[in-house]
Structure 1
Amino acid sequence: MIHLGWFLGAGFGIQPWSEKGGDGLWTGSNVTDWMKPDIYVDLATSMERAGFDYILIEDTAMVEDSYQGTAETSLRRGFMAPKNDPMPLVPLMTQRTKHIGIIPTASVIQYPPYLAARLFATLDHLTEGRVGMNVVTSVTDRVAQNYGYAEHFEHDERYLMAQEWVDVVQQLQGSWKPGAVLADVWNAVYADHTKVQPIDFVGKYFSSRGPLNTIPGPQGRPPIASAGGSEAGRDLAARYDDTMMSLSKSVEEMKEYRLDMRRRVAVYGRDPDAVKFLFLVTPVIAETDAEAQEKKKAMAAARLSDASIEYNLWNMSYTSGGRIDFGAIDPDTLIRDIDFSRQNGENSSVAAIFQNSADLSLREVVATSYQITDLGLVGSPDTVAARMGEIMDEVGGDGFLFYLPTTRRNMAEVADGLAPALRRRGLIRDGYSGTTLRENLLEH
């Protein structure tokens, strides 16, 4: 069975909203309603109808100003700001659904371990076992400065910090042992105090006495997700992840990545089959193959617009951790002549953008390089469904994480066009057998 997820890449933030800004048509009332729950509830009900495992909600907590040394572009275009805290959105999305999981993002520098453990235990109860935790290390100095740091930690140290963070969180989540809750009405005994103990954790980055002051949720420890592509990121995922998003540009890269990660998971004594690796993809779906190809051509042409080029340069600056201002570099500069040693952000994402581009200019990369590709998933629902099956057969599993603009048209194309085509081929679930996110991830 192919597992499916939806990556809400703009988080609980402003969704595609301006035709002139390069977002295109079908943006509806996003410009005024992005902060309301309606479109996110519609997304959840639509993707549940499509049999998706989960929706993963990105998050950032800053107003980015590394591009051209000002926040003007970020605020004029609505890039990563404004953005709301995703946590209160989670129970609203699950209230109208019964099966799909919701995975909000928690940064290790934004959420102290005790706060995170308590918050996700609470969400696990409110969602009846359908919440997961996307663990990130945050990207830029601006985020770090919003939480009391002078600058962000270096890339690899951030992942050592994340390992310790997950360890503390999980110890806190396990501080109420099985059988601790008695709920004995007749003898007026709620909990057995001998089964609720402090953890007394003292580490390099965090310390917490514990125990947690709330009871475990239906999943006990909500599933963990991450997106690391670097060595440090892969190691974190191998230790803890239940599902992981991967950035691969070809079927061969997907295959190599999955084999490598399954080997790493096994090294830590974990079952590789219990971890679902979902590959980021931007499918192009239309009523016919010809229409989809025309749609893809139009999307490629749109990348040459001033609005698209501005976004790509801005995104490159952000992805570097705010350490490289691509808006200040002559666009005719060859990639080989750009100093990337200063970057301290999403190192694997930067590598993906500039992959095999040493002899190209920055101008050429901006117009042609895709951080996330369609992997050949272009065509009618039947064509895309067939190709998805072929890719998964070659890669060996586990599924795809769709990254599309959050519009109701895209939701309908996936839920009411692609999903039925996949279901006719027996490639995705026809109904959910489990009641929790963890159970859905483990379904074969």
Structure 2
Amino acid sequence: MSVKPFHMGWFMEFSPDEWNGPFGGGGSPWSGEFYVEMAQALERACFDLIMAADTLMVSEAYGGSMETYLKHALLVPQHDPAPLAALMASATSHLGIAITLSTMGYPPFLLARLCRTLDHISHGRFAWNIVTTAENHAAQNFGLDKLPDRQLRYDMADEYMELVCQLFDSWEPGAIVMDRETDVYADYKKVHPINYKGKFFSSRGPLNTAPSPYGRTIFLQAGGSPRGRTFAAKYADCIIAIGAGVEGMKSYRDDVLARAAEAGRNPNDIKVLFCVTPTLGDTEEEAQAKHQRMITNPSFIEQSLAFIAGITDIDFSKFDLDKELPHLTTNGEQGSLDMFAQWGSGKKLRQLVIEASGGLLASVELVGTPDQIAERMGEVMREVGGDGYLITSPSMKISRRYISEITDELVPALQRRGLVRTKYTKTTLRDTLKEF
């Protein structure tokens, strides 16, 4: 029986690699060279895309101090992913390049202009990962005392998206004529101010960038809470998701695609990629031993809790690892908190950290040989219904060794089973995502 292939992406940050390990790049990747080489490796493995996360602050959420974050290079230093996207795009020809840009951090006009510019540089392979920003420390870097309420942030983001899309459409198709005989570059009748005036944002327009021959920028979004899922279902071409096991993954995908249909979209136009953190070994015993060494390392536990604290604005240093969490709410990423905490499961905090395996990024446990993991990934996708995976390192830091384990060991095992592509047949990210 033929097996429908699935899509593959990689989640990373423009931050230090595994600087204190034997296979890191030394912890100073600021020229971008390390990540450009990573993008080239993913392209050789026929990945759909690489996605750079981003934050806009140095957190103090864990223990009320920056110490843990700076000590472990956790969420900091973190450089602007936009210039890196241009570097990666120029060094590749098929791989999609997605970066995180905050609706709080960028005025809509500047963001639309940046997206359009990167669309051109990448020849239609750029994607914007939409975030509203969920940290009070980030808000304070932009002149706010604290974040707006989460519901209000999504209301603002809805208006933001409406404005950005109008800016994208402010040049009609065919506006650029480049007519040598009449000495006309662009037809002014096909370029329009939008005069947008909303409750939160306004912009005269039009964009002052050339229209993209590749259409609207590809949108990525990770909606965890009910409101976040509705937002993702309304706008995203590709949804980044975390599911609690196969049942949770299937439930999430079914729910978000139903929301897309309610919004008048074709659910088949949306790809849902689930975050996973494979741990590979030459034997199952070796992989399990590697996994055990990682999850029992006190530094790993501390880093995982600090990471979760950083995105939820909840200080997890206050809670006993060997007790259940009290029920918590946040104005940060409530969906991520709910996924991590598994309310009602009876699990202790230590177990929750172990199951999260590197923050919040493990939808299903993948520990074993490349063939075992490939087989499991295929089984999970068949049960969930699609559409693919977004890989990240279990240790939250990337090494050359881990990149090679995925691209040179796991991907060939997937390819032998017909689960992922063996070559690119499309040139734009939109067409690559729509290929199957």
Q: Is the 8 A contact 2:24 2:398 kept in 1?
A: no
SS in 1 for 2:81: coil
SS in 1 for 2:264: coil
Determine which of 322, 334, 353 is the counterpart of 1:347. 334
Q: 1:37-85: per-residue Cα shift (whole Å, max 9, x none)?
A: 1111111011111111101100011111122222122222212111111
Question: Is it true that 1:246 corresponds to 2:241 in the alignment?
Answer: yes
CA, structure 1 residues 326+386, in 2 after alignment: closer, same or farther (shift >3 Å)? closer
Q: Is the 8 A contact 2:276 2:365 kept in 1?
A: no
**C-alpha separation between the residues in 1 aligned to 2:69 and 2:204?**
40
2:384 corresponds in structure 1 to: 395
2:29 corresponds in structure 1 to: 34
Q: 1:339-386: per-residue Cα shift (whole Å, max 9, x none)?
A: x24x21111111122114675554565566553326242222222112
Q: Is the 8 A contact 2:245 2:363 kept in 1?
A: no
Count of residues in correspondence between the two structures? 427
1:177 corresponds in structure 2 to: 172
More displaced 10-residue stretch of structure 1: 122-131 or 289-298 = 289-298
Structure 1 segments (4+ residues) deviating >6 Å: none
Q: Is the 8 A contact 2:279 2:290 kept in 1?
A: yes
Identity across aligned pairs (percent)? 43
Q: Is the 8 A contact 1:121 1:220 kept in 2?
A: no
1:408 corresponds in structure 2 to: 400
1:99 corresponds in structure 2 to: 94
Matches within 5 A, 1:256-275: 256-275=251-270
Determine which of 355, 363, 368 is the counterpart of 1:379. 368
**Offset, 1:292:** 1.8
Matches within 5 A, 1:1-16: 1-8=5-12, 11-16=13-18
**C-alpha separation between the residues in 1 aligned to 2:226 and 2:354?**
29
Task: Give the TM-score taking structure 2 as reference length.
Answer: 0.93
CA, structure 1 residues 366+214, in 2 after alignment: closer, same or farther (shift >3 Å)? closer
More displaced 10-residue stretch of structure 1: 327-336 or 292-301 = 327-336
Q: 1:375-415: per-residue Cα shift (whole Å, max 9, x none)?
A: 24222222211211111111111000101132111111111
1:284 corresponds in structure 2 to: 279
SS in 1 for 2:274: strand
CA, structure 1 residues 166+374, in 2 after alignment: closer, same or farther (shift >3 Å)? closer
Task: Give the TM-score taking structure 1 as reference length.
Answer: 0.92
CA, structure 1 residues 109+220, in 2 after alignment: closer, same or farther (shift >3 Å)? same
CA, structure 1 residues 406+334, in 2 after alignment: closer, same or farther (shift >3 Å)? closer
Could you tell me which amino acid in structure 2 is paired with residue 349 of structure 1?
S
Q: Is the 8 A contact 2:40 2:91 kept in 1?
A: yes
**C-alpha separation between the residues in 2 aligned to 1:58 and 1:139?**
13
**C-alpha separation between the residues in 1 aligned to 2:413 and 2:78?**
35
Question: Is it true that 1:81 corresponds to 2:81 in the alignment?
Answer: no
Could you tell me which amino acid in structure 1 is paired with residue 336 of structure 2?
S
Q: Is the 8 A contact 2:294 2:300 kept in 1?
A: no
**C-alpha separation between the residues in 1 aligned to 2:293 and 2:61?**
30
